[in-house]
Amino acid sequence: MSLIDTHCHLNFDQYDADRQQVIDRAGAADVNRIIIPAVDVKTAHEAVALAGQHVQIYAAVGVHPTSTADFSDEILTEIENIHRSASKIVAVGEIGLDYYWDKSPKSRQIEAFEAQLDLARRLELPVIIHNREASEDVMAILENWAATLPPSLKERPGVLHSFSAPAEIAQRAIKLNFYLGFTGPITYKNADDLRRIAVEVPEDKILVETDGPFLTPIPHRGKRNEPAYIPFMVDRLAALRQITTEAMGAITTENAQHLFQLS
C-alpha cells in the first residue's frame, strides 16, 4: 500500500533534529509521498528546497491567512516568481481565512485570499484552503472563484484541508468539486460530527493528511505529529466506511494523485 500525506509542515523547526528519520519512518509506514504547504515567502523557499532534495516530497506555495498582515503586490509577485521558477510545486497554498487568531485584519486576509485564488487560476493549479471560524466567507469567495475556472481545474479546484466545519459546508464544497482533507481529529473521542461527515463524503473526494506537527492522532495525541501516522487516519476512515484499510488507502492515494497531478 502506497499512501500520501497531503499536508505536513515538514520544514518547521519541530523537525530540525530528526527530519531525515521522520522521512524514513514515513517510508517504513508506506507513506511514500509528502506535500509541504508554505505559510509565507520564507517557508515557500524552504518547502521548495526540501522538494528538490527528496524525491518523495512536493511543495505548495502560498501565504497563510495569519501571515497576511503585511501582504502586498510585491509579496504576491514573489510568490508567483517562486511558482514559475521552481519544480515540484503542486498547489497554491496554504491560503484562506482565519478568524480565530487576531493576527491580520479580515479585509487584508480577504484581499490576500482573492489575489492568490486569482494566481492559482492563472497558473492552473489547485488550492489548499485553510478555514478557521470563517466558513461562510470562505465558501462565498470559493463559489465565486469556482465559476471562473478553466476546464483543467473544474474537476480538481482544491482541498479544504483539515476539514472541521459543519456538514452544510462540506456539501457546498463538494458541489464545487473540492476535496476534504481529514486529519488526527477524526480519531478523537468528541469528533462524532466530523466522523458523520467522513461517512457521507463521496469516496472520490477524501484525502488524508497529518497537518504535522499539529493534530496528532490517537494513540499518539500529545506528541508531535508526523507522516508515519497517516495509517491511523486511513484505518479510522476504513472502519467508518466499512471497507478494508487497503481499499481506503488506495482511494485516498488515487484522489491525491488526481488532485495534485502526482506522477
Residue 192: per-residue pLDDT: 97
**DSSP, residue by residue, 98-109:** ESSS-SS-HHHH
Reported as a pLDDT band with limits 50, 70 and 90, residue 65 is: very high
**Mean pLDDT of all residues belonging to the chain:** 97
Dist. CA 121–CA 149, nearest whole Å: 6
Dist. CA 24–CA 141, nearest whole Å: 39
Residue 230: per-residue pLDDT: 98
Dist. CA 131–CA 109, nearest whole Å: 11
Q: What mean pLDDT do residues 95-122 have?
A: 97
Residues 6+ apart with CB under 8 A from 261: 90, 156
Q: Name the residue with cell 488532485.
A: 259
Q: Is the pLDDT of residue 127 over 80?
A: yes
Residue 263: per-residue pLDDT: 76
Coil vs helix vs strand at 154: helix
Dist. CA 41–CA 21, nearest whole Å: 26
Q: Where are the beta strands (DSSP E) in 170-236?
A: 179-182, 206-208
Q: What mean pLDDT do residues 25-34 have?
A: 98
For the chain, give the number of residues: 263
Dist. CA 134–CA 81, nearest whole Å: 29
Task: Enter the DSSP assignment of 176.
Answer: T
pLDDT cut 90: percent of the chain above it: 99
CB-based contact 59:48 (threshold 8 Å):
yes
Q: Where are the beta strands (DSSP E) in the chain?
A: 3-5, 31-37, 57-60, 89-98, 127-132, 158-160, 179-182, 206-208
89-102: string of b/e by CB count within 10 Å (b at 16+)?
bbbbbbbbbbeeee
Reported as a pLDDT band with limits 50, 70 and 90, residue 109 is: very high
Residue 221: per-residue pLDDT: 96
Phi, psi of 231 (to 5 degrees): -60, -25
pTM to 2 decimal places: 0.98
Residue 197: per-residue pLDDT: 98
CB-based contact 256:262 (threshold 8 Å):
yes
Reported as a pLDDT band with limits 50, 70 and 90, residue 1 is: confident
Dist. CA 35–CA 46, nearest whole Å: 12
